[in-house]
Amino acid sequence: MRRRRAVAKPLIFLSYASEDIKFVNRFKNRLSRITGRTVQFFMAGDSIPPGVKWADYIEDNLDRADCVIVFFSHAAAASQWVLFETGYAWAKRKRVIPLGIHGCDFKQGVQPVSARQGFNIHAADDLNRVVEELGDILRRHFKSAFSPAEYARMVAEAPKHGTVIRAWRLKDREEIYNEGISLVTKCDYESHVRATVSVFDPDDVHDPHFRSYLSAIARKCGAAARKRGRRFAYDVVFGFRRTARGLIPEHVFRALRHRIAVLDRAHGTSKVRFYELNQEWALNMLLLNYEEAIIGFPENARRPELQHGVRLVGYDVVAPVVQWYKACVRDQAAPLDISLLRRGVNLPRKSGARPN
């Protein structure tokens, strides 16, 4: 008896910011049922196996995709990955469908998102128009649809932009670090945590508040590393000036190695990226996605007047800080080689390193 040859399922590439993962997952799961599971989906957070190069794997799947759906939101507008995926799909002449979600108008985005025919999602009927469009692209007819109740569940977990802004003072190092522990502990495994650090005091590693804070970060990174395929990331930019010989100052070198040792014990180093910037700040910050932040002076243990901070909540106030961090801090910084630091190797900066 002749076996039937398996027919490859059409591939829909979903491009989104990690902050919108809950909405996108609900969309994908419902659409999978609507299509009778005859369509496969690519989501970078879930589809990339460990050990492969993200950019190459994403390009390969964009090449194979029959359609690319771009979820345009406040977070997506600031996402380099969403811009890269959309631009690559556009260059490859793929069918791109932008969806404006969480009250965002996709036509207000940058090209090529704004130049495409898409849908702003305000109700279940808008999602059903997307289903019809996919049916036309894939030359199929799908009978099921999104219900108003399903749409309500999708938007119930959406980030609330422009509605809540709160700020309160943190009076000392203990409060700053305790608030940092709370922030890191509660974040999910699709979060992006960003931080700046200035190492003023080489004895900070003995501060019990700092040690508790660092342990909380290590536990979260370790747990995220065990959940393969998740987008959780912890980026830290250290501000310091190298010595005349181009080496990392000894007290900074010890501080870096101490952090790596704690992360290694929790098996969380794979989720961490260290960078350096040739500056020294009196102020440090911890940013969670685009919604929450701590800005303060916890590293200045020997200067009591610089041991307070502020806690910020709300997209409208935190998102500009994240944009500043990306443009003026992260993009100007050079990566630090964690494997060399772990082995105790302190080398001058490479000639090809990013200037700052």
Instruction: Please report, for the domain that includes residue 57, its CATH number.
Output: 3.40.50.10140
Boundary of a domain, candidates 137, 156, 175: 156
Domain with 35 in it? 11-156
Please check whether residues 140 and 221 belong to one and the same domain: no
Residue 355, CB half-sphere, CA atoms under 13 Å: how many? 0
Helix axes 250-265, 208-226, angle to 10 degrees: 50
**179 and 111 within one domain:** no
At residue 75, the 3 state secondary structure works out as helix
Same domain, 142 and 178: no
352 within a domain of the structure (yes/no): no
Q: Which residue, of 156, 175, 199, is where some domain finishes?
A: 156
42 and 178: one domain? Answer: no
Q: Are residues 41 and 101 in the same domain?
A: yes
Residue 4 lies in a domain: no
Question: What is the spatial distance between Cα 111 and Cα 315, in angstroms, rounded to a whole number?
Answer: 24
Question: In whole angstroms, what is the distance from residue 237 CA to residue 276 CA?
Answer: 5
Query: Does residue 175 share a domain with residue 152?
Result: no
Q: How far apart are CA 195 and CA 210, in angstroms?
A: 14
- Write out the chain's pLDDT in tens, 356 residues: 555 555 678 999 999 987 788 889 889 989 998 988 889 999 876 656 656 677 788 899 999 999 999 999 888 887 778 888 988 998 899 999 999 998 888 887 666 665 667 889 988 899 999 999 998 888 888 877 888 888 888 877 666 554 556 778 888 888 888 999 998 988 877 678 999 988 766 556 678 888 999 999 999 999 988 886 566 889 999 999 999 999 999 989 999 999 999 999 999 999 999 999 988 777 789 988 777 899 987 555 556 555 678 888 877 788 788 878 888 888 889 999 999 999 999 988 765 444 34
Q: What is the DSSP string of 227-262?
A: STT---EEEEEEE----TTSPPPHHHHHHHHHHHHH
Which of 238, 249, 246, 239 lies closest to 350, judged by CA? 246
| Residues 130 and 96 reside in one and the same domain | yes
Q: Looking at the structure, do residues 106 and 172 belong to the same domain, yes or no? A: no
Same domain, 114 and 205: no
Residue 93 belongs to some domain of the structure? yes
> Which CATH number is 288's domain given?
3.30.870.10
Provide the number of structural domains found in the chain.
2
